[in-house]
Amino acid sequence: MIKLFIASLRDIGEYPLDQIQSDKAIELNYMASPSNYPWLMIGLGAILTIICGIFFARNMQSRLIAWENDGTPPLPLSSLSTNISWTGAFIGITFFFGGILEILNFSPEKSLISSFLISFSSGIIMWALITDLMKQVQSGTIREIDKYL
């Protein structure tokens, strides 16, 4: 990135400022950033979501096994490992949706803001559903999924 910037400064020095065309100026000042690579954002977001999602699912599975074997209650959900894996999964979803929106010609800022709002709202709703499910598991009154819909 530094070499690109130094090269662009050297190229600007070859032209008088009044003769630099706008396309050349944009090309000379082009710096690589994550918003220039939406496929990279999609890939990293998908990988982060999958890894953190598997870690979260494994954590929930170990809580349920401990509750079944030892009688350890599965609640409260808010532990360090649960919060980190949950947050990481939704950061990955934010990057994933942001990259997709950039491919669909949204600006990088608007795509990240929109994808953050989508993942944040769905993350809060899903956290409430999982908490409710764990309460039902702990009390022994599990409802069918059709009752939620």
The whole-number pLDDT of residue 56 equals 92
The whole-number pLDDT of residue 97 equals 92
The whole-number pLDDT of residue 106 equals 84
- Six-digit token string for 130: 């999982």
The whole-number pLDDT of residue 58 equals 92
Q: Tell me how crowded residue 112 is: count the other CB atoms within 10 A of its CB.
A: 21
The whole-number pLDDT of residue 23 equals 52
The whole-angstrom separation of Cα 84 and Cα 52 is 8
**Which pTM was predicted?**
0.67
- DSSP 8-class letter at 104: T
Regions of the chain with pLDDT less than 50: 1-7, 9, 25, 28-32
Judge whether 34 and 40 are in contact, CB under 8 Å: yes
The whole-number pLDDT of residue 145 equals 59
The whole-number pLDDT of residue 5 equals 43
The whole-number pLDDT of residue 3 equals 45
The domain locations on the chain are 1-32, 36-147
